Amino acid sequence: MSQHEFYPKHLRESISVVVGWDPALGTYYAQIRDYKISQDDDCVIIWLTPAPGEIQTVKQLEKLLNQRIGDKILAVRIPWHLRWQLTKNKKIEGSAW
């Protein structure tokens, strides 16, 4: 499983976005974390946990993540280098689903 964390500059410095590829479920996933709340799993404020095989492209991941965000925080854009890395993770790690 891959996991990449980044801090969008337009959000508070305590907020991070985590994106990754889960080969066991054959899908991309995402989380929004606010480290102002805590430093452990309690800091997750938005969790995009799709069904197996549900999210197959990074573009789709970003779209669904921003739908889930709604009006809670400003929309996020996955940086190009992470888009490339996520696509590479999917190709390398494959899918068990």
Q: What is the reported pLDDT for 23?
A: 96
DSSP lists the bridge partners of residue 30 as 19, 48
Over residues 8-26, mean pLDDT: 95
Whose tokens are 């970003």? That residue is 62
CA distances from 12 to 15, 17, 60, 71 (A): 6, 12, 25, 15
Strand 4-6, strand 15-22: pairing: antiparallel
* Residue 16, phi then psi, degrees to nearest 5: -125, 160
Q: What is the reported pLDDT for 40?
A: 82
Residues 6+ apart with CB under 8 A from 11: 73, 74, 76
pLDDT tens sequence across 18-77:
999 999 999 999 999 999 998 887 899 999 999 999 999 999 999 999 999 988 889 999
pTM of the shown model = 0.91
Q: What is the reported pLDDT for 95?
A: 85
How far is residue 57's CA from residue 35's CA, in Å, rounded to a whole number?
Answer: 28
